[in-house]
Amino acid sequence: MFFKKDKKLSADIADRVMRADYGDQAVEFVVGEDSGGDRYLPPANGDGLFQKLEFALSIGGDGTFLRTARTLKALGAPLYGINAGRLGFLASGKQEDAALDVMRILSGDYSLQSRASIHCKLQRSDGTSETIFAMNEIVISKGSLSHPIDLRVLVGGETLYRFLADGIIISTPTGSTAYALSAGGPVVHPDVRCILLVPICPHSLYPRPIVMAGSESIEIRLAGESEKMYLSGDGLVNMRLGQGDKVMAMLDESGINMIKLGRSSYYETLQKKLGWGVLTQNQNGGDPGDD
């Protein structure tokens, strides 16, 4: 179980889940420790149990869900999220149903949905390299007060475009409803195996968002000078970039298994979370309750 212990709502939900009666189901909870970084750590007295997780429960917002996903990357355990945040695209479970949902999972009343992730390698100009993982997106961006950055984007070794911008987003379909959507990218169903490239405030009209095949490899070269440039993964990992650095990204061979309860579709989630299909007063010429 993973949650921010300093968040009262999340802690209260976790307490209710751990105290609930699960009948003849043998349940042993292990609570991950907050590392203060991009993932959770096993508790000092539960390392062995942590490695044998049957499934993981994330209690919080989508940020907590993403941190948990990073933790589970090497463990391979499926993940279910109880929403104690705001939007809750990934952490979709209701607070009041948390213990009931756990019981359903223990009983095997669920399905699994695999979500693609991104494997990203940062090749620095000095020859060193670092690797990061993202479930939503990899973002290259400028500092808050720095000038636009000069980006050259290559796909499969072939130059796609070069432009000045505030940055660029490399997104999975899961991340298409996150930062990429705010930057003007399309919404993509999570079952579509692809990568999205979404420029952030480009200083030209021609570099548009593009959906690439899931087999493509993407390379971004930092071509010009800039005072400050950063690389982030899911908003959790942040690294300073320098001139001459290269960022290479592609879909990972293994994704994250999300636990799905019920029969609600992805399109129902979009309608609920984004307000699609709901007429406002200005759209229908009157109060929606008048019909």
pLDDT per position as a tens digit, 10-57:
999 999 999 999 988 888 888 888 877 788 887 766 667 677 788 999
With CA atoms as reference, report the closest residue to 237 among 252, 247, 227: 247
Q: pLDDT at residue 247 above 70?
A: yes
What local confidence, expressed as pLDDT, does residue 69 receive? 92
> What residues act catalytically?
62
pLDDT category of residue 3 using cuts at 50, 70 and 90: very high
Pairwise CA distance, residues 132 & 267, whole Å: 30
Q: Is the pLDDT at 284 greater than 90, yes or no?
A: no
Residue identified by tokens 């999205």 is 196
| For residues 185-207, average pLDDT | 94
Segment 76-99 shows an average pLDDT of 90
Has residue 289 got a pLDDT over 50? Answer: no
Please state, in angstroms and rounded to a whole number, the distance separating the CA atoms of residues 67 and 30.
Answer: 16
The amino acid occupying position 76 is: G
Q: Which domains does the chain have, with CATH numbers?
A: 2-109+261-274 (3.40.50.10330), 118-251 (2.60.200.30)
List Cα–Cα distances, 12 to 19, 46, 199, in angstroms.
Answer: 11, 22, 40
- The H-assigned helical ranges of 24-174 are 47-50, 62-72, 98-106
Mean pLDDT of 152-175: 95
262 or 291: which leads in pLDDT:
262
Is residue 286's pLDDT more than 70? no
Sequence-ordered list of residues with C-beta below 8 angstroms from that of 268, at least 6 positions apart, any chain: none
Q: Are 77 and 55 in contact (CB under 8 A)?
A: yes
Q: What is the pLDDT of residue 281?
A: 52
pLDDT (0 to 100) of residue 88: 81
Q: H helices of 133-239, where?
A: 179-182
> Residue 12: its pLDDT value, please?
96
Task: Tell the burial category of 248 from Cβ atoms under 10 Å away from its Cβ (0-12, 13-18, 19+).
Answer: middle
Instruction: List all residues 6 or more positions away from 79 whose beta carbon is below 8 Å from its beta carbon.
Output: 55, 56, 57, 58, 65, 68, 69, 72, 256, 257, 258, 259
**To the nearest whole percent, how much of the chain has pLDDT over 70?**
92
Structure tokens at 183: 């930057």
The chain-wide mean pLDDT, for the chain, equals: 88
Q: What is the pLDDT of residue 288?
A: 43
d(CA 132, CA 67) in angstroms, rounded, equals 13
Which residues have a Cβ under 8 Å from the Cβ of 277 and sit 6 or more positions away?
271
Does the pLDDT at position 244 exceed 90?
A: no
